[in-house]
Amino acid sequence: MKITYLGHAAFSIEAHGKTLLVDPFISANSLAKDIDVNSLEADYILLTHAHGDHILDTEAIAKRTGATIISNFEIVEYYEKKGIKGHPMNLGGTWQFDFGKIHMVNAIHSSVFPDGTYGGNPAGYVLETSHHKVYIAGDTALTNDMKLIPMMLGEIDLSILPVGDNFTMGIDSAIKAADFVQCHKVLGCHYDTFGYIKIDHKEAYTKFAKKGKELTLLPIGDNLKI
Ligand code: NI
Ligand code: MN
């Protein structure tokens, strides 16, 4: 599995020959100016919630690529009205796709589209292929529910966690979240994009290392293979 960071909370994940885009917010992110939104491939677009900093480029990419949106019922319905196909899910559900399974798990946050349309409940996902399990937390606070993930799904190979604080977990909560999901390999997201969420990278690395955890903060455009 190859996971490429596209800035903020956006990733491109290659799994079993398919490409999943997660929370594409790229064209308005000055830090991601070297990412060409118009050439990104997507078979699926996985959306954690309806906030603008997660859905911004979804419509354009889906219309260009014909990608299927995977998200909660309300978000999928919103895009279906624009002629974009989707696979609706809700919390607690699992579905077997051609690239692997998606488990939809709890996130503590809010979810409304920039135009005011209700965006259902925010969520995280566990992407499970025949080889790996990756937890994509989405925007969330630390929550005890994270303990259910290894309890139900077994060992998680990588956790993609927000670390920017203010709108989501910060570094200390993310370290605790890694404990809760029993996964010591963390890929950080949702940091540095705007003023409220700027973090000190060195301090973040030091804090994770002190607790015996491996943090990765990828330069935008770089990838990690598991
Ligand atoms: Ni949000
Ligand atoms: Mn956000």
What CATH number is associated with residue 73? 3.60.15.10
pLDDT in tens, 159-192: 999 999 999 999 999 999 999 999 999 999 999 9
Q: What is the mean pLDDT of residues 130-142?
A: 97
Measured in angstroms, how far is the CA atom of residue 130 from the centroid of ligand 1? Answer: 30
Measured in angstroms, how far is the CA atom of residue 134 from the centroid of ligand 2? Answer: 19
Measured in angstroms, how far is the CA atom of residue 8 from the centroid of ligand 2? Answer: 8
Q: What is the mean pLDDT of residues 94-114?
A: 98
Q: How far is CA 217 from CA 6, 36, 55, 74, in A?
A: 12, 21, 22, 32
Task: For residue 115, give its domain range.
Answer: 2-225
Measured in angstroms, how far is the CA atom of residue 102 from the centroid of ligand 2? Answer: 21
Measured in angstroms, how far is the CA atom of residue 188 from the centroid of ligand 1? Answer: 15
Ligand nearest to the CA of 119: 1
pTM: 0.98
Q: Rounded to an integer, what distance in angstroms lies between the CA atom of residue 193 and that of residue 207?
A: 21
For the chain, the average pLDDT equals 98
Q: What percent of the chain has pLDDT over 70?
A: 100
DSSP designation for 34: T
Measured in angstroms, how far is the CA atom of residue 38 from the centroid of ligand 2? Answer: 22
Q: How far is CA 13 from CA 8, 47, 153, 223, in A?
A: 15, 13, 20, 9
Ligand nearest to the CA of 53: 2
Q: What is the mean pLDDT of residues 75-82?
A: 98
Q: Rounded to an integer, what distance in angstroms lies between the CA atom of residue 190 and that of residue 109?
A: 13
Measured in angstroms, how far is the CA atom of residue 152 from the centroid of ligand 1? Answer: 26
Q: What is the mean pLDDT of residues 30-42?
A: 97
Measured in angstroms, how far is the CA atom of residue 186 from the centroid of ligand 2? Answer: 18
Let me know: does 139 contact 162? Beta carbons within 8 Å. yes
Among 161, 164, 163, 165, smallest CA distance to 187 is for 161
Q: How many separate domains does the chain show? A: 1
